[in-house]
C-alpha cells in the first residue's frame, strides 16, 4: 500500500521531471500490482494543478478536460482527511511545511 501525493498524480498526467516513475506507479495500480490511497481532497488538489498548468500555457483547456477525465477514472482509494488534521497540524508546526503535505504524511503513518 502506498500513499500517492497530488504532485505525483499530476506528474502521471502532465509530463514533468520524474513523470515516468509516476506513470509506472499509476500503471501498477491499474494492473492490481500496487494499492494506492490518498486523502479525500486529492482529486481537488490535482485538478487545481491542472488548471494552473492551463493558465501557464502548458496544456490547453481541451487537454485539461481530458486529463481530468483520466484522473477521475484512475482515482486511488480516497480516505477521510478530517481525522488526520491534528497529526498534520503537529507535523506542520514541527517541520515547518504545509498542512496539505503533512496530511499525506499523516495518512501514510496511519496506514503504515
Render pLDDT for 6-29 as a digit per residue (tens, 0 to 9).
999 999 999 999 999 999 999 999
- Residue 48 CB-half CA count within 13 A: 7
- pLDDT level of residue 88 (50, 70, 90 thresholds): very high
Average pLDDT over residues 53-73: 97
For 50, other C-beta atoms within 10 Å of its C-beta total: 20
Band (pLDDT 50/70/90 cuts) for residue 51 is very high
Strand boundaries in 1-112, DSSP class E:
2-3, 36-39, 77-79
Residue 112 CA to residue 107 CA, distance in Å, equals 9
Domains, in order of start, for the chain: 2-79 (3.40.50.1010), 80-112 (no CATH)
Amino acid at each position: 500500500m502506498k500513499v500517492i501525493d497530488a504532485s505525483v498524480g499530476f506528474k502521471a498526467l502532465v509530463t514533468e521531471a520524474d513523470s515516468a516513475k509516476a506513470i509506472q506507479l499509476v500503471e501498477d495500480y491499474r494492473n492490481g500490482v500496487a494499492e494506492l490511497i490518498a486523502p479525500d481532497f486529492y482529486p481537488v488538489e490535482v485538478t487545481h494543478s491542472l488548471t494552473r498548468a492551463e493558465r501557464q500555457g502548458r496544456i490547453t483547456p481541451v487537454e485539461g478536460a481530458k486529463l481530468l477525465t483520466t484522473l477521475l477514472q484512475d482515482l486511488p482509494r480516497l480516505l477521510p482527511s478530517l481525522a488526520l488534521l491534528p497529526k498534520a497540524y503537529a507535523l506542520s508546526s514541527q517541520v515547518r511545511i504545509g498542512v496539505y503535505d503533512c496530511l499525506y504524511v499523516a495518512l501514510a503513518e496511519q496506514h503504515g
